Structure 1
Amino acid sequence: MPERVVVLEGSARSVIELCDGTRTVARITDELRERFPAAPVDTEVSAFIERLHKEGWIR
């Protein structure tokens, strides 16, 4: 099945919006840490971005 629909919920949308080709993963993490201070940003964002890359959703 080459085509898929992905529904982003919660903070996933915030991560994707920051993946604009100008920010590094570290910068994305810093920005999200400021927005969501209680969230486990340091442990989850880089793994999520890596998964997006492996799936081909981002380059």
Structure 2
Amino acid sequence: MLTTIPVIRRGFRLQFEPAQGCHVLLYPEGMIKLNDSAGEILQQVDGQRSVVEIIDQLRQRFPDVPGIEEDILAFMEVAHAQFWIELR
């Protein structure tokens, strides 16, 4: 998974929703409210960077978070299983 490039699935759109006070994934049938960690990770998903590059970027931004790599990988697995992202 580390070398794959995640892409937000077609039909989904990530945006900050002021009314919710957080990032959300919008899709035709509704909205998924994201916690802060999920929002930070998905903001890095641009269709250009691999999972390992996203991990490196977030590790630099949040150097004091222990186990950040495992958390990001676990989130990517869930996001893929929920069809929020595609892995290329």
**Alignment length (residue pairs):** 57
Please report the TM-score for the alignment, with normalisation by the length of structure 1. 0.84
How many Å apart are 1:44 and its aligned residue? 0.7
1:26 aligns with 2:26: no
How many Å apart are 1:38 and its aligned residue? 1.4
1:17 aligns with 2:34: no
Report the secondary structure of 2:33's partner residue.
coil
Larger RCO, structure (CA 8 Å, separation 6 or more) = 2
**Greater per-residue strand proportion:** 2
How many Å apart are 1:4 and its aligned residue? 4.4
Q: List 4+ stretches of structure 1 deviating above 6 A.
A: none
- Seq. identity, %: 37
**Greater per-residue helix proportion:** 1
Which runs of 5 or more residues in structure 1 are unaligned?
none
Question: In 1, Cα distance between the equivalents of 2:54 and 2:79?
Answer: 14
How many Å apart are 1:9 and its aligned residue? 2.0
1:35 aligns with 2:86: no
RMSD: 1.2
Which runs of 5 or more residues in structure 2 are unaligned?
1-28
Question: In 2, Cα distance between the equivalents of 1:47 and 1:10?
Answer: 15
Bigger radius of gyration: 2
Question: Which residue does the alignment assign to 1:58?
Answer: 85
